[in-house]
Amino acid sequence: MLTGSKSTFKVRQMGPDIKERMLSQSGMNARSDVLGLPCLPGEVVLQRAVMVRKKLTAREGRGWLSGTLFCTRFRVAFVPQDAPKPDDNADPVLLGDHDVALASIEKVVVVGPNRTKLVTPNSSLKFTPEELVLYCRDLRVICFLFDRLTPDAQVLEITHTIAKTYQPLKPGSVSAFQNAALEMKQFLSNRQRDAHMNWHESAADWERELERCGATGWRVSSVNDRFEMSTSLPRYMAVPQKVLDTELKKIFAHFNDGRIPRWCWRHPRGSDLLRMASFQNNIYHEKDDIRNLEMILFGCHGSLCVVVELGDELPSPPDVQLAHGRLRALCLGDISTSVTVPDDKWLSTLEGTRWLDYTRSCLKKASEVACLLRGGHMTVALQEAEDRDMSCVVSSLVQVMCDPYCRSRHGFQSLLQKEWVTAGHRFYSRSNYHRDNDKEEAPIFLLFLDCVWQLWSQYPSRFQFTDDFLLALHDSAHLPLFSSFLANSQRERCRRTQNVGQCYTPVNGWREPHSPDGAAEPPDPPLPPVWDWSLQYSKRRQAGFTQPVPQTPAPRPLLNGNLNAETDARRASDATPGSVFLFSRGVFSCPANLLPWRGAAGISGVYRKSHRRAPSSESVPGLERLLSVRSLARAPSDPDRDPYRPLLPLLMGPCLGLWRECYHRGALHAQAFSHPLSAEHSHPLELLAREVRGLHRRLTAEGRPSRGADINRNAGNGTFLFSGPPPKAPASPAAAEETPKENANKHTFLFGRAADTRSGRSDSKTSDSDAS
Amino acid sequence: MEKTGSVDSLGSKQSSSRHPSVDSLSSSERSTQVKPPSMMSDSATSSEFSPEIRVKPKTTAKNFRDSDKEELQLLPNEVVQDTAQDVTYFCPFTGALCGIVTVSNYRLFFKCTGREPSFVLDLPLGVVSRVEKIGGASSRGDVSYGLVCKDMRNLRFAHKQMDDTLKKSIFEVLMKFAFPVSNGLQIFAFEYGQVFPENGWKVYDAISEYKRQGIPNESWRITKVNDHYELCDTYPSTMAVPVNIPDEELKRVAAFRAKGRIPVLSWIHPESQATVTRCSQPMVGVNGKRSKEDEKYLQAIMDANAQSHKLFIFDARPSVNAAANKMKGGGYESEDAYQNAELVFLDIHNIHVMRESLRKLKDIVYPNIEDSHWLSNLESTHWLEHIKLILAGALRIADKVESGKTSVVVHCSDGWDRTAQLTSLAMLMLDGYYRTIRGFQVLLEKEWLSFGHRFQLRVGHGDKNHTDADRSPVFIQFVDCVWQLTRQFPAAFEFNEYFLVTILDHLYSCLFGTFLCNSEQQRLKEEIPKRTVSLWSYINSQLEEFTNPLYVNFSNHVLFPVVSLRHLELWVGYYIRWNPRMRPQEPVHQRHKELLAKRAELQKRVDELQREVTNRSASSSSERAGSPTRSITPVQTFV
């Protein structure tokens, strides 16, 4: 039943609490530990220490929290003294609010009376630590303080246990964390999938997306159903209706890794966003192929295609890796190395990381593409050599800017499924969870999250998700537990979960526990997707992931952009049929060899006529005018004037901020930075709202509901406090309960983050409110 | 705390200020009456705080009202002096614009002709630091003028060479009215006769402010020794000093302190009785002179606080500068002479360094910003570093008083620049009262105006001598520090960012009398309260513009900000507000006002419902005796 005994690591000294420890080994069904730690199925408490205090960050209200520290094979858990008794019936949460997954720990440092020491699995301690500092990969720093009353043995034991358990001894080996996770497979596999989002996994999912965007002229092709055409592309993709599957099959060879132009999104004005890998140049272009290549590239717009080259202006994966490494080193303020950047060099050192430069260039590129798409009647094709890094960033940023749906939590999750997870971003290699592939490591996804945060901080009220959600996503990306991140392509994900009928040798170090009768083994239960938030976050924390947004009627998609009245756009689309422009470094050009098949000699056929004419020079200024929206200083946010206006970020130096809530969490010296959130202390507005609700409830309870119906009218000046008329005669208390709930949301919007200043958070409390 | 009857040295209160007719004005008239004096009142909603470009919405109902604002609306007693057609304004952001320039005795008004959306530039002449004629006549016969402004921008205009050589260029006319002091004219504030429903001159009364702090008490008394400004002409007439030092001894202490600025009480901790006192440097000199009276005086300050047997002397200067001052007769307290006192240098640089730093900052933000080197350029101005040092100094003071329960003495050289910054910031951290709108006004009136920060010299109101070495952005720096505090504690301040920007705008505008002159004595002599309008009259008449909707009254909390450079930011909303590409993307100011309205409405509804519940429970108490009652705690609002 338990495999805890299999992994033998020596505990140097058996503490007096060995009995308790044995007791704590709970069975698959027992959830609550006798010591107060609700264990997960199969989880084993390895060590614990009592009378430990956890240092709270400003966000948690600052100060210290006393409790018990546990180390299991899966996490370092901290149970506060006065924590409410865990409810045995509640769904278990993998990580409590105060827990750290062993897998996210990067470094263990102890602080003694007058020294600090980095603890490695092999190191021995010559002093009793007073403080235990866990540096995490997600830039958190968690600090525990041992009390003098904590038994020395416990202190030493837990330090050693954590140091030995948290990381693989050699690169590539399976960490204890994953062993533990595997033990929980049963538990993890029976999770329900979130039905509110589009997973983009089935053909129906893609149909739904085409329909949502009003993308006529496109169909879902299952030509890659068995990943035979391209190993990195998903099973289903959206291609022009005009192209048959048999024709399509010949196209794959013309693109790097078979990543042909695929539809991503349609702008309400009718332009389509495509993405593709670079062309295979050393291939013979048959006449029929050329026709199909042209068709697939132009989609349902015969006239104009703009190829946006992503390679030369955006950072390469090694650039991003280097920048992120520098940023980490700068922000973490590591006490074990004592090399910190002096304060007066902070700004230039931050600049020197180039991280902000890179976010700027990604956002700039995405804004340009977003502006181009406003033109209507064209396809904009993002082209990157491999189509698996920057095109994920840019295509999803464009959609976040243009599509309000992508700024809701579920919409954003669907977007990430579409443009990252199924599109084959190499999460596994880029994350390098096992430290065995340093060459490929590059936090492209984290760069993207930073870009989204920049947009969020400039338009806080236009997003339904909050920066807490972005932070949760940021932290989850560091946990090697989610199927979303533990594979490089959809194919790998599928092979893991399905019995493909052949012996599967993992490519990148993921070892399945060896089973003697491999053939008869049922398929591995799938790992959970990252979107299963209740695995990690309590209901309370999840409630902070979203905020109400004012309802702006979504612009209706225009069919083929025919209703488009804007002159710029019409000008742009007046181009000669079949014009292709390259957009690179902010300028449009039409190099002869842009489409390799066109440059080839001896082209004949239907397209020849249009090729002979040089592309109309008029269309270039038309396109450029589309871009000029970016530089035009307009009145801030006037959504009524142009519902299709994308959220364009300000990109000047002073406008890009550092995501402090994320990168500065670890800077212990700066923990006083304050926007504490505390559930106990309410803002007066909230108190007022609660008061109104309470009084209203009391009035209805008094049994004269007719008065309640007047409430909206009473409010005067047209502001309705309750979203609907309260029930005339509440039949059940539940009905009466409903109205206040809706109301609460409304209020949260009113004085919540929606009213934020541009880059700052105006939370409703100062730190001092918590001190009292 | 406003006591109408109390007479402070600022002279008699204006009886005319609360004109009875004001209240009978219709609301629309009243709103226009209140609005015009702001340099940016109308634009605050549409483009946040930068009024330079006003975009006219095409179809909204607001259009009608906004179109009025595009025409020049003269203030009371504002007179148009000259108008010129066909003047080109070289806007660094949108290119050259042609239009009409009007110069009055208060402002320069430029309206672009034939351009949609219309473009208006409304510039109080007070912000002009220098006017220079650029180059000779160009080939087209244009003459070009550059206006260097005190509020982080430069403007360039050009117009055709005058045919009539005797006629003065409009910019020559402008020069006369931009520098009235140099031209023997009166600053416009003396002519501006606007009447507001509130009288800002009543905001601060020294006696009641001391009373609020519990002074006089057994250790501190209020002295009238400076009633005629004989002890110290840069101090106010009302001061709080230790009880056991008689007035005669105060005079001997004054002899030992630079400019006679003896240590006086700024703030006293309501519980521990630890105090913040301020003064100027001791006149130690190269020979290390001592003063028994001064030593006794500091001992008395220490003894007034029973909690601690130590006194901290914070010298705002770098120690090198403090030592260098000995050559000029000044210096610092030696720890031999002052027993139990510990001297700490706070390393804050002098006014010249600060001026240079802000000049560099202007260079990198106006008009163009170099994106790729923005942060290192910002670092090279050292502006944020200076901000950090000032905040760090104030933090140490606040920490010593609050956590150490120790009294502190703060001084720099003269005790009117860095000292004012430090004491007022420490007081903001320590005392929630100063974080309210009125409290902040009191703080400025007390620590800055009454204790003689030399606004006239530092700003150079109406003075054409722009190279004057006495000019320095000391006060701006202080307001910047306050803004940094509001960023870190967004719910602790009753006022919003617009309040701070407005204060800085009217620091230069010369529309209000508040920041005129160098000391209380001068203000009294010039009869400023009688002859001018207070900025607080304007602000307090439309508080909703300046109120932070997120404010929670944490009056008993001490704010300890993080002063690491990692947590300081450049105040983009002030320094770079002229750049249209820096506008906030969302109308925050507008939304905050909506929040305030919502809050007021909720409060109203609570009151209504409470009344109803009370009525009903009175009527139905007999039949519903068993129903659970919910105790209703009255909720306060801070609107």
**The pLDDT of residue A276 is above 80:** yes
How high is the pLDDT of residue B170? 87
Q: Which residues pair with A131 in a beta bridge?
A: A111, A145
**The pLDDT of residue A615 is above 60:** no
For the ranges A730-744, B431-445, B514-528, which has the lowest average pLDDT?
A730-744
CA–CA separation, A373 vs A378, rounded Å? 8
Q: Compute the average pLDDT of residues B139-144.
A: 73
How high is the pLDDT of residue B562? 86
Q: Compute the average pLDDT of residues B477-485.
A: 97
How high is the pLDDT of residue B155? 94
Residues 363-402 of chain B with CB under 8 A from chain A are 365, 369-376, 378-379, 384-385, 388
Q: Compute the average pLDDT of residues A250-258.
A: 92
* Top-confidence residue, B114 or B56: B114
Select the residue of B388, B576, B583 nearest A654 (Cβ to Cβ).
Answer: B576
Q: Which residues of A549-581 are buried (b: 16+ CB within 10 A; e: fewer)?
A: beeeeebebbebbeebebebbebbbebbebbbb
CA A356 to chain CA mean position, Å: 19
Select the residue of A654, A692, A761 nearest B606 (Cβ to Cβ).
Answer: A692
For the ranges A21-30, A322-331, A700-709, B407-416, which has the lowest average pLDDT?
A21-30
pLDDT band at B165; cut points 50, 70, 90: low
pTM above threshold 0.90: no
* Top-confidence residue, A33 or A446: A446
How high is the pLDDT of residue A517? 39
pLDDT band at B317; cut points 50, 70, 90: very high
Cβ burial of B356 (10 Å; 0-12, 13-18, 19+) is middle
**The pLDDT of residue B216 is above 50:** yes
Residues B67, B54: contact at Cβ < 8 Å? no
pLDDT band at B36; cut points 50, 70, 90: very low
How high is the pLDDT of residue B514? 96
Q: Which long-range contacts (CB under 8 A, 24 or more apart) does B62-69 make?
A: B66/B42, B69/B42, B69/B43, B69/B120
How high is the pLDDT of residue A632? 46
Task: Give me the DSSP letters along B539-606.
Answer: HHTTGGGTB-TT----TTPPP----SGGG----HHHHTTT-GGG--SS-HHHHHHHHHHHHHHHHHHH
**The pLDDT of residue B299 is above 90:** yes
Which residues of B are annotated as catalytic? 412
How high is the pLDDT of residue A106? 85
Residues 653-682 of chain A with CB under 8 A from chain B are 653-655, 657, 660, 664, 667, 669-670, 672-675
Bin B126: left if φ > 0, else alpha if -120 < ψ < 50, else beta.
alpha
How high is the pLDDT of residue A500? 38
How high is the pLDDT of residue A403? 93
Q: By the CB < 8 Å criterion, does A225 face chain B?
A: no
The rounded mean pLDDT for chain A is 74
pLDDT tens for each residue of A155-173: 988 998 888 887 655 555 5
Select the residue of A347, A688, A698 nearest B378 (Cβ to Cβ).
Answer: A347
A754·B627 Cβ contact <8 A: no
**The pLDDT of residue A516 is above 70:** no
How high is the pLDDT of residue A350? 94
Cβ neighbours of residue B288 under 8 Å, at least 6 residues apart?
B331, B334
B566·A343 Cβ contact <8 A: yes
Q: By the CB < 8 Å criterion, does A586 face chain B?
A: no
In 3D space, the residue among A336, A333, A283 whose CA is nearest the CA of residue A660 turns out to be A333
CA–CA separation, B633 vs B610, rounded Å? 10
Residues A258, A358: contact at Cβ < 8 Å? no
pLDDT band at A229; cut points 50, 70, 90: very high
**CB atoms closer than 10 angstroms to residue A303:** 18
A650·B585 Cβ contact <8 A: yes
Q: Compute the average pLDDT of residues A713-740.
A: 33
A667·B566 Cβ contact <8 A: yes
**The pLDDT of residue B275 is above 70:** yes
Q: By the CB < 8 Å criterion, does B469 face chain A?
A: no
Residues A270, A376: contact at Cβ < 8 Å? yes
* Top-confidence residue, A609 or A697: A697
CA–CA separation, B53 vs A148, rounded Å? 65
Q: Compute the average pLDDT of residues A594-619.
A: 51
First-last CA distance in chain B: 19
B89 three-class SS: strand
Q: By the CB < 8 Å criterion, does A701 face chain B?
A: yes
**The pLDDT of residue B6 is above 70:** no
C-alpha distances in angstroms, B566 versus A143, A399, A449, A655? Answer: 21, 32, 21, 16
CA A437 to chain CA mean position, Å: 22
**CB atoms closer than 10 angstroms to residue B156:** 16
pLDDT tens for each residue of A170-206: 555 555 666 666 667 667 766 788 889 999 999 999 9
Residue B345 φ then ψ, to 5°: -95, 135
Q: By the CB < 8 Å criterion, does B550 face chain A?
A: yes
* Top-confidence residue, A569 or B54: A569
A762·B489 Cβ contact <8 A: no
**CB atoms closer than 10 angstroms to residue B584:** 23
Please report residues of A whose CB lies closer than 8 A to that of B559. 766, 768
Residue A3 φ then ψ, to 5°: -110, 10
Q: Where are the alpha helices (DSSP H) in B449-547?
A: 455, 474-488, 497-509, 520-525, 528-531, 535-540
Instruction: Compute the half-sphere exposure of residue B220: CA atoms within 13 Å on the CB side of its CA.
Output: 28
Q: Compute the average pLDDT of residues B249-260.
A: 95
pLDDT band at B289; cut points 50, 70, 90: very high
How high is the pLDDT of residue B286? 93
CA–CA separation, A437 vs A596, rounded Å? 35
For the ranges A131-145, A333-347, B347-361, which has the lowest average pLDDT?
A333-347
Pairing of β B275-279 and β A131-136: unpaired
**The pLDDT of residue A672 is above 50:** no
Query: What does DSSP assign to residue A254?
Result: G
C-alpha distances in angstroms, A103 versus A73, A74, A144, A176? Answer: 10, 8, 18, 8
Helix (H) or strand (E) holding A45: strand A45-55
First-last CA distance in chain A: 49
**The pLDDT of residue A707 is above 80:** no
How high is the pLDDT of residue A479? 86
In 3D space, the residue among A423, A433, A443 whose CA is nearest the CA of residue A224 turns out to be A423
How high is the pLDDT of residue A629? 60
How high is the pLDDT of residue B172? 85
Cβ burial of A285 (10 Å; 0-12, 13-18, 19+) is middle
The rounded mean pLDDT for chain B is 85
For the ranges A39-43, A213-217, A615-619, A704-708, which has the lowest average pLDDT?
A704-708
Select the residue of A660, A699, A764 nearest B550 (Cβ to Cβ).
Answer: A764
Please report residues of B whose CB lies closer than 8 A to that of A346. 379, 564-566
Please report residues of B whose CB lies closer than 8 A to that of A687. 635
How high is the pLDDT of residue A682? 57
Question: How many Å lie between the alpha carbon of A117 and the closest alpha carbon of chain B?
Answer: 26
Handedness of CA B45, B46, B49, B51 (dihedral sign): negative
For the ranges A258-272, B55-69, B161-175, which has the lowest average pLDDT?
B55-69
**The pLDDT of residue B15 is above 80:** no
Question: How many Å lie between the alpha carbon of A394 and the closest alpha carbon of chain B?
Answer: 21
Percent of chain A with pLDDT over 90: 30
